[in-house]
Amino acid sequence: MKRFFTFLFATMLAGQAWAYDFKSGDLFFNITSDTTPYTVEVVAPKSTFPIYEGYIKPKGDLVIPAEVTNDGKTYSVTNIGYFAFSDCDSLTSVSIPNSITDIYHFAFEKCTSLTSIEIPNSVTTIKEGVFSGCSGLTTVILPNTLKCISEYMFYGCSSLKSIVIPNSVLWINESAFEDCASLTSVTIPNSVNHLGNMVFAGCHSLTSVVIPNSLSYIADGAFSGCSGLTSVEIANSVKSIGLSAFYGCSSLTSIDIPNSVTYIGDGSFSGCIGLTSIAIPDSVWYVGSTFADCSSLKFNEYDNGYYIGNERNPYLCLIKVKSTDITSFNINSSCRIISDAFAGCSSLTSVTIPNSVITIGNDAFNNCSKLTSIDIPNSVTSIGAGAFQNCSGLSTIVIPSSVSLIDAMAFSSCSNLTIYLETSERDFGRYNYWNPDNRPVVWNYKPTAVTESAANTVNIYAQGNTIVVENATEEIFVYNVMGVLVGRDAARHVSTGTTITINTSGVYIVKTGTTVKRVIVN
């Protein structure tokens, strides 16, 4: 990705006229101010990309002057320009004067013989990729004036073993230390309030990390591929752990998730094959597809499922089922989160979701092609991306008013589905975002004014195109989704059950006495 970024950036600059204004010694300069105070930036002479023909790359020990003279004027050297010393692979050291305030994009990229550099406190800005690919760099001293460590700044600095990040730094951006394979020690100061994606990805030698209380999230892929990581301390300020944040951290055996965390992203701990224990606090409302391949992790078993949780609730999150060949499943009554547990269970025909569940996660029932009906309780608040994707046997689904989030492709390729929402039209994002096949949607679905009662001795269920009511002693009423009475019968067969034939598939409300139940007829 970085190489593409460099190429793209270089291509954009290729069309510019990069002729230098004058040469002094072995260096080339562009005038940035021709009135007092006179200033210049040091550049590599380029009229087209790559290096200008005839240009001799600096090598050995480079001293950048604080001032240069041209045509009787003395200029202060304030900037190191774009790609100024890129690919100077014989450059062994650089002395930067206190006159420099800005070092621009990829200025020292691929200076593979450069082993150490000290950047003076006069420098306030260091742009993208300045030291990327400096594979021989072992020591860097950053200025106390620096606010941001830019994207790809030390990408691929494979010999860099440690670095001190100044307390002045507020942001550490995307891939700043990616593939620093020898990095064993880094301290993230409390001043930092932003970590970019993939910021320490591929730092195989990094053994421990402390996430300070100035951070509210751990970015996507932040420590992915840190295979030597054995210790992670997460501050109570952190609310979310991003996608693939600790992917492939194979030496990590345990981790404490603080009570501040509410979101654990997909793949955040995938490939953590050494992980033996983890406690998910009650504060968490989403756990993505991430723990199923943690082969050393001890799961809590119930029926045919594997769960993780905490001491108070060991069944907080359903991670996976024992076999994708199951035909039916009862979820533990303490479960709050369904991960992608049923993805690929192509023989699953029925599942009972308890009222404890608040989240149906991404791909939770993806490819459950034989699932014909499902009852979503009023406790559910979110339905994840692809949750019911490819459920081709599903003809109706009722979304309770408690649901405030329906994510991308939730009902994609559900070719027979009608969606009933017990709320007036709500912004779940673009309609074709969560319902890309434009399946029929019934908004503001209110079958009756009666609240569904708790289960009792009366048993109501669908059987083919009939509704069966067992143990009823009072008259039976059947309403369609618009609240219109479509069938009624006396409770004539108390023991064997009364049957009422329904000619059209859909959702129906059955009422007898104080018992009210929602039934789906296919």
pLDDT tens readout for residues 224-255: 999 999 999 999 999 999 999 999 999 999 99
- Token pair belonging to 253: 């055996």
Domain covering 321-445 assigned CATH 3.80.10.10 in the classification: yes
The pLDDT confidence band at residue 17, using thresholds 50, 70 and 90, is very low
Does 321-445 match 211-298 at the fold level? yes
- Average pLDDT over the chain reads 89
Q: What is the pLDDT of residue 82?
A: 92
- The residues, any chain, with a CB within 8 Å of residue 169's CB and separated by 6 or more, are 142, 146, 147, 148, 149, 189, 191, 192
Q: What is the pLDDT of residue 18?
A: 52
Taking the C-alpha atoms of residue 33 and residue 360, their distance in angstroms, rounded to an integer, is 61
Residue holding tokens 């609730």?
313
CA angle 32, 33, 39 (to 5 degrees): 75
pLDDT exceeds cutoff 80 at 14:
no
The pLDDT confidence band at residue 4, using thresholds 50, 70 and 90, is very low
Q: What is the pLDDT of residue 200?
A: 98
CATH code of the region 1-206 = 3.80.10.10
- The residues, any chain, with a CB within 8 Å of residue 402's CB and separated by 6 or more, are 378, 379, 380, 381
Q: Is the pTM of this model over 0.85?
A: no
Q: What is the pLDDT of residue 454?
A: 44
- The residues, any chain, with a CB within 8 Å of residue 414's CB and separated by 6 or more, are 388, 389, 390, 391, 392, 394, 437, 439
State pLDDT tens for residues 54-105: 567 888 999 999 999 999 999 999 999 999 999 999 999 999 999 999 999 9
Between 478 and 158, residue with greater pLDDT: 158
The answer to whether residues 80 and 60 touch, using CB atoms and an 8 Å cutoff, is no
Taking the C-alpha atoms of residue 196 and residue 177, their distance in angstroms, rounded to an integer, is 10
Lowest mean pLDDT among 137-146, 350-359, 369-378, 453-462: 453-462
Taking the C-alpha atoms of residue 445 and residue 443, their distance in angstroms, rounded to an integer, is 5
For residue 210, how many other CB atoms are within 10 A of its CB? 13
Of 163, 181, 182, 184, the residue nearest 172 (C-alpha): 163
Here the contacts of 243-247 (C-beta below 8 Å, separation 24 or greater) are: 243/267, 243/268, 243/288, 244/220, 244/268, 244/270, 245/218, 245/219, 245/220, 245/221, 245/269, 246/222, 246/272, 247/221, 247/271, 247/272
The pLDDT confidence band at residue 459, using thresholds 50, 70 and 90, is confident
Q: What are phi and psi of 102, to 5 degrees?
A: -135, 135
State pLDDT tens for residues 276-331: 999 999 999 999 999 999 999 999 999 899 999 999 999 999 999 999 999 999 99
Taking the C-alpha atoms of residue 516 and residue 409, their distance in angstroms, rounded to an integer, is 32
Q: What are phi and psi of 29, to 5 degrees?
A: -135, 145
* Domain range annotation of the chain: 1-206, 211-298, 321-445, 459-521
DSSP code for 431: H
The pLDDT confidence band at residue 48, using thresholds 50, 70 and 90, is very low
Q: What is the pLDDT of residue 53?
A: 52
Q: What is the pLDDT of residue 471?
A: 84
The pLDDT confidence band at residue 184, using thresholds 50, 70 and 90, is very high
One-letter amino acid identity for 357?
V
Q: What is the pLDDT of residue 451?
A: 41
Taking the C-alpha atoms of residue 218 and residue 268, their distance in angstroms, rounded to an integer, is 10
* Percent of the chain scoring above 90 in pLDDT: 71
Reported in sequence order, the residue ranges of 423-505 that DSSP labels E, i.e. its strands, are: 441-442, 459-463, 466-470, 476-479, 485-489, 498-501
- Residue 32's H or E segment, with its range, is strand 27-33
- The fold for domain 459-521 equals Immunoglobulin-like (2.60.40)
Taking the C-alpha atoms of residue 476 and residue 514, their distance in angstroms, rounded to an integer, is 11
Q: What is the pLDDT of residue 493?
A: 62
Q: What is the mean pLDDT of residues 464-483?
A: 81
What residues are paired with 164 via a beta bridge?
Answer: 187
Residue holding tokens 């970024």?
5
Q: What is the pLDDT of residue 291?
A: 94
Taking the C-alpha atoms of residue 2 and residue 19, their distance in angstroms, rounded to an integer, is 27
Q: What is the pLDDT of residue 455?
A: 44
* Percent of the chain scoring above 70 in pLDDT: 90
Between 122 and 461, residue with greater pLDDT: 122
CATH class of this structure's domain 211-298: alpha beta
